């Protein structure tokens, strides 16, 4: 079910005309006491290319936060996207994860 919602939301986000740089500002307006609203706000911004939101999505999947189940594959996807845009914390998280795998 989440995959279907994700595809619908992705289609909606692509059609929406709000620019990615506005999303980081808009995230501050999201109700802090509702993890679902926060997650959907991050997802919307991440799909538009906001590297901070991509990092937050990656960390949320990595730690099983904001109502998301822990998923290393989803975490890696979002962290890689943020890292490719120069997000330093995302690069460090990926490096740490790869080092843990290499030395396990």
Which of 7-11, 32-36, 91-95 tops mean pLDDT?
91-95
Model pLDDT, residue 103: 80
**Does residue 100 register a pLDDT over 50?**
yes
Range in 23-27, 35-39, 47-51, 91-95 with the lowest mean pLDDT: 23-27
User: CA–CA separation, 15 vs 77, rounded Å?
Assistant: 22
Which of the four pLDDT bands, split at 50, 70 and 90, describes residue 102? confident
> Positive or negative CA dihedral for 59, 81, 41, 11?
negative
For residue 89, give every residue at least 6 positions away whose Cβ sits within 8 Å of its Cβ, in sequence order, or none: 55
Instruction: For 38-62, write each residue's pLDDT tens digit.
Output: 999 999 999 999 999 999 999 999 9
């Amino acid at each position: 079910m989440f995959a279907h919602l994700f595809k619908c939301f992705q289609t909606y986000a692509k059609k929406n005309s709000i620019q990615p740089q506005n999303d980081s500002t808009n995230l501050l307006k999201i109700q802090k006491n509702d993890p679902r609203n926060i997650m959907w706000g991050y997802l919307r911004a991440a799909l538009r290319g906001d590297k901070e939101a991509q990092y937050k999505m990656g960390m949320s999947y990595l730690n099983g936060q904001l109502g998301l189940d822990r998923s290393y594959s989803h975490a890696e996807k979002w962290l890689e996207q943020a890292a490719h845009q120069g997000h330093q914390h995302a690069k460090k998280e990926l490096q740490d994860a790869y080092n843990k795998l290499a030395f396990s």
